[in-house]
Structure 1
Amino acid sequence: MEKGLINSIKLYGDFFSESDVIELENVLTGIRYNEKNVRDVLKNISIEKYMSNINEDNLIQVMFN
């Protein structure tokens, strides 16, 4: 975090994906770190493409709880 923005983010775990999770990390980098802004970005992205069996709500929960 830097000045309220996501300066860098690393998503990892033992999940399978069809696309490299780095693409998702890049999309999240540079946006304001609050739930509304993250949800706004994620609503146009298929999370399951990057993390199998994970949805937007799951990712939000991990990031903000």
Structure 2
Amino acid sequence: MKAKIRVVGAGYVGMSLAVLLARDNVVTVLNIDAKRVAQINRRESTVVDAEISDPWRPKI
């Protein structure tokens, strides 16, 4: 059974952690910045990093 995990913050550390955890779990990312929330809802990375931008797309 997959764990349900919440990550608070969609900055570099939060999104890196969310991407890693989303490989085997159900992850929800919480953030106070409406623009970042909109990016996440559109499945766009909130950070510029090649290793994060591609792998996170199908998971979060």
Name the TM-score, length of structure 1 as normaliser: 0.30
TM superposition score normalised by structure 2: 0.31
**Rg bigger for which structure?**
1
Which of the pair is proportionally richer in strand?
A: 2
